[in-house]
Amino acid sequence: MRWKMLTGNVVLVLLLGALAWYFTRSFAADALAQGVDPSVGRGGTLLEAVRNQDGQQLLNACVTATTSPDLAAVFAEETVSAQRGLAFTYADGLARSMATMLPRRGRPAELVVVVSREGEVLARNIERNADAGRNLRQDLPAVGQVLDTGRAARDYLNYNQQGWLEVAVAPVVVGGQVKGALLVGYALADSAARNDADRIGVGVGYLLRENDRYVVQSLSVGTQSEKNELRDWANQNGNNFQTMLRARPRVTLTLGNEVYRAQVLPMPGAQSAAAGAIILQSVSEARAPAGGVAFPIVILTLLGLLGVLGYNLFLANYLEKPIEQIEDGLLQIINGNRDFRLGLEHPELGGIVYRINQLVQELTGQEEADEQGRVSHPPPRGEG
């Protein structure tokens, strides 16, 4: 009996605890997940503000650099060879100086190019003769726009082995005439997405179109495997990513083992390049604290189990032992001890004990008195 009661009570407590934990965790997880979409929307707004701010700072630094007398001296030279020598010295020095001019980026520019009036590369940083004579009008329409209009511009450029870069282009004006242009670029490495993600509080990815496919140039979440999955998602046949850039939809996608709510938007500052950004907020991560919310249910369940064990010990001492004594007493009477009487005093079982003793005296023909002194006389036996 004892073990049956204990088992039943334990099963009941565990069942109720499991149900309470499940429903509490589910409701808490759903409530936490409701904050994901607003977070994604705020992230998109913040990313546009951050990218535009950083892009404008890059553009301003590039414009400021074009006022240097050292750059004007490049275009004062009469021979292309002399121009290239001075252009390389200036470009290499400016690349290092950009770390100071743009403290938020905190590193030298990956690309600095001095461009002639015709749009050809005079020199770039790092290598004196690298890309000399290359016509950037064809590769970067922003360069042609700047040379033709005399107004600075921002864009994104896929430049040789350096991959995609965020670039600013400013005209070099000498004597009131546009003599050439200055291009300054920073690579869109994974560190760029991570830095932006830290600033806006959600995941960030940058996708740019190469030929007829999009590539994931920078991603703040996961590893190369997640970058490949995002690339495949952007290029799948049923997913017109270019249309999504204009519509700015919110979608659900899975990268690795994480489920994300995401928003696609045009890359801030992109003019000629087909570029997009994606905001990512992990639904799994947002729901994770629900386990902590439901944790008190586990504690209460354990306390309930301790209560059940304590209560069963109490019942064992309070009811089961007296019942065992009654059972042993009855066994003595059955075995022929007609003079044996139950002497158990118990608030709940005392009445039963008296009635058993009364039944025994009726069977044996002996008188029986209760605790108040009342005497029970056995009925006269009929003659057989």
Identify the three-state secondary structure at position 114: strand
Instruction: Looking at the structure, give the CATH architecture of the domain made up of residues 66-187.
Output: 2-Layer Sandwich (3.30)
- Asked if residue 366 has pLDDT above 70, the reply is no
* CATH T-level fold of 39-53+188-288: Beta-Lactamase (3.30.450)
What pLDDT does residue 384 have?
42
Q: What is the mean pLDDT of the chain?
A: 82
What are the pLDDT digits (tens) for 33-43? Answer: 566 788 888 99
pLDDT band per the 50, 70, 90 thresholds, residue 84: very high
pLDDT band per the 50, 70, 90 thresholds, residue 324: confident
Which of the residue ranges 67-76, 101-110, 325-334 has the most confident prediction, judged by mean pLDDT?
67-76
pTM: 0.68
Q: Please give the residue that has the higher pLDDT: either 291 or 132.
A: 132
What pLDDT does residue 29 have?
54
What are the pLDDT digits (tens) for 102-138? Answer: 998 889 999 999 999 999 999 999 888 888 888 988 8
What are the pLDDT digits (tens) for 137-178? Answer: 887 888 999 999 999 999 988 887 778 899 999 999 998 999
What pLDDT does residue 117 have?
93
Cβ-proximal residues to 33 (8 Å cutoff; 6+ apart), any chain: 283, 286, 287
Report long-range pairs for 149-154 (Cβ below 8 Å, ≥24 apart).
150/178, 152/59, 152/62, 152/63, 153/59, 153/271, 154/55, 154/58, 154/59, 154/269, 154/271
- Asked if residue 230 has pLDDT above 60, the reply is yes
CA angle 356, 362, 368 (to 5 degrees): 70
- Over residues 331-355, the mean pLDDT reads 74
What are the pLDDT digits (tens) for 201-227? Answer: 999 999 988 888 889 988 999 889 999
